[in-house]
Structure 1
Amino acid sequence: MLVWCMDSVALLPCVLIIWSSAAFIASYIFAVLEGHVVPFIPYISDTGTCIPESGLFGFMISVTAVLGAATMYVRYKIIQAQNVRISFLNYWFNLASFLIGVIGCIGMGIVASFQETSVTAVHDVGALLTFICGVAYIFLQSLITFKACPQWSNKGICYIRMTISVISVIAIFPMIICASFDGMKMYHCEAGEEPSPYHQASAACEWIVAFGFVTFFLTYIKEFQAISLKISTEIHDDF
């Protein structure tokens, strides 16, 4: 018998949650031990800026982006299949949510590929795409969950997802505003002055949003247990 988290395609969000959490925590631990960041609430990107943790951060975040996109695709197909049985949602709403989520994953790939101190402008654009599109994705998915109730979801999961979404939406505004007040300063590996209150407030909000994503995908596991995903291959006659 399979472990509960490995039933059907439930393994996918489970691996995403474990891997992404490990990526954030491992990079933070390495950066603190190497003395590259202050232990109290650095930016997530700050923990993956310097060698050797930059390599670990880049690799693990890149894999997280791929796992995130795959999980979103499965969720998109689930909603599509449910909507065929009992129509409750416009097709384009589901597609738009999926595409926004994928753009967020692309932004995460940009963050992983362009370190904060190498190509700062590109890194910042990637970070904004990740967080803005990520928050938009989970908010849209929360609305979809409400629309799917009671046929395909229950009130409990509706309120849990919406609560996570609202907290993430609220946190993203001070994250961006405080970062702009701080001047979007480039992080330096050398020891220097302590981060400003704006910097730490923005970083705290960033961690809240990041683990908001992790918690949101956690709610997918039970739903994915009821799904089987098949890949079919057809060879055309003119091959």
Structure 2
Amino acid sequence: MGGTVVLVRRGLDHHAISLPPLQHMEASAIQLVTYRSLRYTWSVLLDQVEPAFPYISDTGTLPPASCLFSQLLNIITIFMSCCVYIRYRLVKNAESGIIPWVNTMAAWLGGICCLGLSLVANFQESNVSSVHVIGADTCFIGGAIYFCLQTWFSHKMKPSLVSKKTLKFQICMSVLCFLCAVTTILAGNIASAHFHGKKITTQLIRLLEVGLKYKLTIIDGKTKHVSDSHCGQT
């Protein structure tokens, strides 16, 4: 039995090191986009969300869409966990000079992000909102940091393992992911804090219903909250 485990691990190491850096993540990415599209379409057809930019969580709040939401995200969580482990083994065997404990820390961070996604799937925002928000923040913020770490790992790897085009793509996606995560959570918290309605709707509509009491403006490179007493008045 022990010999079989060793052979399996050696086989995994061999195949992982021969894979392009992003190839083993393509399946999860395609699944995520496909499942998200299915949930969105179903929720819109059932008139559970507004068609314009709904939150992912909004498409999985009411049954039967919530059942599909939980099931599909749980499946994606399993695949993403496998991707995190495969990536960990790839970096470990790449002989890139990356400090082992940093790679291990990144793997643990990836696992925590997968756990956060599982919390999002099984604790809907209409049932246990606090746990749902914790899971979402862990998944998105932690995921953005994880992507940045993996991009740095790719930079340290040999050119034969990571092409310049792949590295540039990873850099662009990591920056975009981080910016989207921060702005989404920031705007979402502001909107939720001032939203007192009962209708489950999209974050865009929540911002409008708040009356645009607060606007985000960029002044000298800094984000500031500007109060507008005239906003929302008719």
What band does the TM-score fall into relative to the shorter chain? 0.7 to 0.9
Higher relative contact order (CA 8 A, sep 6+): 1
Structure (1/2) with the larger strand percentage: 2
Residue 76 of structure 1: aligned partner = 88
8 Å CA contact retained: 1:138, 1:165: yes
Residue 23 of structure 1: aligned partner = 35
8 Å CA contact retained: 1:105, 1:130: yes
8 Å CA contact retained: 1:50, 1:189: no
- Alignment-mate amino acid for residue 175 of structure 1: T
Q: Distance in 1 between matches of 2:199 and 2:34?
A: 22
**Is 2:50 aligned against 1:41?**
no
Residue 155 of structure 2: aligned partner = 146
Q: Secondary structure at the match of 1:182?
A: helix
Residue 114 of structure 1: aligned partner = 123
Change (3 A) 1:186 1:60: farther
* Normalised TM-score (structure 2): 0.73
Residue 178 of structure 2: aligned partner = 169
Aligned length: 189
Q: CA deviation at 1:29?
A: 0.6
**Is 2:159 aligned against 1:182?**
no
Structure with greater Cα Rg = 2
- Structure 1 residues 9-65: Cα deviation after superposition (integer angstroms, max 9, x where no partner): 778534312221122111101100000000000000000111111000100001101
Residue 223 of structure 2: aligned partner = none
Q: Secondary structure at the match of 2:192?
A: coil
Q: Distance in 2 between matches of 1:192 and 1:159?
A: 33
Q: Distance in 1 between matches of 2:183 and 2:122?
A: 26
Residue 213 of structure 2: aligned partner = none
- Alignment-mate amino acid for residue 57 of structure 2: S
Of 72-81 and 187-196, more deviation after overlay is shown by 187-196
Residue 72 of structure 2: aligned partner = 60
* Normalised TM-score (structure 1): 0.72
Change (3 A) 1:28 1:189: farther
% same residue: 26
8 Å CA contact retained: 1:37, 1:189: no
Q: Distance in 2 between matches of 1:51 and 1:58?
A: 11
Q: Distance in 2 between matches of 1:139 and 1:187?
A: 37
8 Å CA contact retained: 1:181, 1:198: no
Unaligned runs of 5+ in 1: 1-7, 200-239
Q: Distance in 2 between matches of 1:127 and 1:193?
A: 15
Residue 139 of structure 2: aligned partner = 130
